Amino acid sequence: MHLLILLVPLVLLVAWAPAWWVRHTMNKYSRPEDRYPGTGAELARELLDRHGLQHVAVEATRDGDHYDPATRTVRLSPNNHDGRSLTAVTVAAHEVGHAVQHATGYAPLRLRGSLVAFTRYGQRIGAWLLVAIPVITLLARHPAPGILFFLAGVLSMGLAALVHFLTLPTELDASFRRAMPMLREGGYLHPPDYPHAQRILKAAAYTYLAQSLMSLLNIASWFRFLRR
């Protein structure tokens, strides 16, 4: 019992700290808001055009910064799409990095797309199980087997954690083999900003790791529920 009391705060810290660091880094370099003359969207458009990717669109979204290979679209959050901060232009370059990966047939990006599609199906099955378990219990007049709860939890949350872990190399490649060279070669940043941009690119890459750790925390909570 005492060990559990010590482990719970440690698990919470390990899972929460990366997410806090990512948010802190992004927010820190979002000021000043007028650091650059062009917006994140404008830089994304220029970088895409320079790489012959005129067919790739740039759009604002409220679903988080990402590149959508299905529609060939770089999607930026409103602050990064319209913002002129160091964070805005650096995150835009990171997402363009994914578009360049796609254009060059970068295999890990294709694998991620397949895993994401598989994960969506698994999460749907898990969600249906969560809905069906109470019905099964009511009809059978007996508690549903624990294996169903376990399977529902793994499908709903475990697959997401796995995908987030597996996508980390793809994110690091987009940040440091694509975005940073593009920013340096084009001289897009003020010289003192490059070390800060590296921190932002690291945060952009580790966003998925933070999400994975949070998913694992959710799974741990789910398992504690099953043991009651």
| DSSP characters over 171-195 | HHHIIIIIIHHHHHHHT-S-GGGHH
CB within 8 Å of 17: residues ≥ 6 apart = none
Predicted pLDDT of residue 205: 84
How far is CA 101 from each of CA 97, 110, 217, rounded to the nearest angstrom?
6, 9, 31
Tokens of 139: 């009809």
DSSP code at position 85: S
Residue whose token pair is 């295999």: 107
Residue whose token pair is 């980390």: 168
How far is CA 57 from each of CA 71, 82, 228, rounded to the nearest angstrom?
8, 15, 50
What CA dihedral angle connects 116, 118, 122 and 123, to 10 degrees? 20
Which contiguous run of DSSP H or E holds residue 9? helix 2-28
**Is the CB of residue 73 less than 8 Å from the CB of residue 91?**
no
Residue 59 pairs with which residues in a beta bridge?
A: 75
Tokens of 62: 């409220």
List the chain residues with pLDDT less than 50.
1-8, 10, 226
Residues taking part in catalysis? 95
Range of the domain at 60: 2-226
Q: pTM of the entire structure?
A: 0.75
Phi-psi sector, 214: left (phi>0), alpha (psi -120 to 50), beta: alpha
- The domain total for the chain is 1
